[in-house]
Chain A
Amino acid sequence: MELTALFLALLFATLRLATPLIFAAMGGFMSERSGVVNVALEGFMLSGAFVGAVVGHQFASAWMGWAAALLIGLCVGALYALFVIELKADQIISGMALNLLVMGLIPFITKILYNSTGSTPALLVEDRFRVEPLVMALLLVGVLTFWLYKTRSGLWLLFAGEHPQALLASGVSVRKVRWAAVCASGAFAAWGGASLSLFLASSYSPLMTGGRGFMALAALIFGKWKPVPAFLACLLFAFADAMQIRLQGVRIGEVEIPVQFVQILPYLVTIIALAGFIGKSRSPKALGQEGF
């Protein structure tokens, strides 16, 4: 009996913790499948988490925060697209710079808004999301899978990342497809961030993403750049995270496991996943190719 309860609790915790990862991984999916490397997911998530929390608090409505996260995600995505698609900046360098920029801008803004050093005021518990983001994350995976394999623009996305010359030859602008994909990437990842600040917690706290943007990217690679396998990889990483929370303060005999050891568990699992079982994961052929 107790075991079942424990199992269910762990399962639900895993799903909850997976929500931000799933959104971010689907964001990464959009961008990388279109041929644009995206290490800026972390920054996208942070901006979504922050703006979601600010607007959500302002209107005392998680949904308003959610909508605001969508907007800011599109904007940050567009900024990234501007640099990597139009200005042809190195994708990894500008991705990292964007992360840094968001990390710097958030305390800059909180200082102006709340005279604080980076946190936002908390949402009332009854205003925050219960399960909505989780449901949406699951829906997103399904919708994306269907869209990718069944619709014309899904095919465009696949070709933009695999053989952009062929897409160009058929009269579709690779640039436009990539713009759209990177903006969507920003929006999804920002929702991932917002589900941290409006669903898992009720406010923004500094650097609350804790590397989840990169884990999502790892999940995407681990999932061979396909939505459903990437989703499963997110569950794996989220499970490690859930275990981490559960294991804090657990004792083996007399010795308490240091909390720091437990906390690095998700990061370790990510490394092991990338290093160990990846097999032959083939990236989209034109990933990182510029000049269209």
Chain B
Amino acid sequence: MRRLLGFVIGLVVALLLTLFAGENPWHIFLILTKSAFGSMYDLGLTLSYTTPLIFCGLSVAIAFHAGLFNIGAEGQLTMAVVTAAAVGVLFPEVPFPLAPLVGFSAALLVGAFWGWIAGWLRAYRGSHEVIITIMLNFIAAGLASWFTLKVIPNPHSQNPETALVSANYMFKDYDLIARLFPDTPANASLGFAIVFALLMWIFLWKTTWGFELRAVGSNPEAAHRAGISEKKMQMLAMALAGALAGCVALSEVLGSAGQYRMGFSPDYGFIGIAVALLANNNPLGIIAAAFLMGALHKGASDLDLETSTITRDFSRIIQALIILGVAAQGYWEWMKKKKRRKN
């Protein structure tokens, strides 16, 4: 409940900021909701943002359950998406049912590897995962840009994007969700995201590995004494986090675009932090939180057209203020203390 209230406070403060730009906050709010849910087309776009946000929220959350802060989802998904595109471009002959599977597996592996690096450095070198994952984000961006521009650029376009993957890699023909929302990037990977959230819930609360992972996050020393290897669990958590972030390859490359486009991600990895926080790292809550944040993002992206003074970057302000609103749970105690001081 408090989290939801924090969310509302963050949103309201963000909307009030638009007063400085000479806008009416209520009007902005209406634009946000209308462009998020106004039509099937809008809803399709909202859902297409929701999917990667579920993946990234899960990514942040699973690391968090192991006591780690994964700020590297952005880099992990970048590496994975480029990998999926690369596989699809470089091995066009793979037949259909196999092709998406191969592309997806490769993406998962590379995403997991990129996350695992930070986990390994934390476990064996004691390096703080926050700084490491940030650095890895920059490195991933550099590598992706090189691969896109120099190795498999799109020959038919001036845009910084890779060539299109072979059609065998796309599952569009069988995609019921995509049919429901024509002309939008929404696709069946939303279903996968929901399934993954369920799987993660089962993993965390119903399996011994999940128990061990959470034990390490809760008290690493006690877990160690209980015969649980915290190093193993830290690496596992970061690898899983990387793999989950890597799932974005599913929605982006295999499900819709068929290529990697530089800048396709509006920092999904960072918004994932807000998603996980809003959901208190509960995998099932993340589905709802991702939908909420996806809607806000879609809503904000129309601000460019609908107003003259506010750009889509406004969604960052909303996200930041929501995170702060939710994170500042000491707010209530603080108010009480203030009251007591007055009395």
Contacts and interface: CB of A to CB of B under 8 A. Distances in A.
Interface string B74-95: 0000000000000000000000
Contacts of A215: 135
Interface residues of B, number: 49
A213 B179 CA distance: 45
Contact of B146 (A86, A90, A260): A260
B317 A105 contact: yes
A103 interface: yes
A219 B277 CA distance: 29
Nearest to B149: A260
Given A87-B330, A92-B69, A270-B131, A111 B317 contact: no
Interface string A106-122: 01100110000110000
Contacts of A267: 135-136, 138-139, 142
A83 B324 contact: yes
Nearest to A85: B330
A25 to B, nearest CB: 13
A54 to B, nearest CB: 15
Interface stretch (B165-173, B249-257, B283-291, B305-313): B305-313
Contacts of B146: 258, 260-261
Contacts of A88: 328-330, 333-334
A13 B121 CA distance: 31
A270 B330 CA distance: 34
A98 interface: yes
A253 interface: no
Interface of B is mostly: helix
B17 interface: yes
Contact of B126 (A83, A96, A278): A278
Given A39-B130, A211-B134, A267-B139, A101 B316 contact: yes
B195 interface: no
Contacts of B136: 267, 271
A97 interface: yes
A142 interface: no
A270 B320 contact: no
Contact of A264 (B20, B130, B143, B150): B143
Leading 9 A-B pairs by shortest Cβ distance: A88-B330, A104-B316, A101-B320, A104-B317, A260-B146, A97-B323, A87-B328, A100-B320, A89-B327
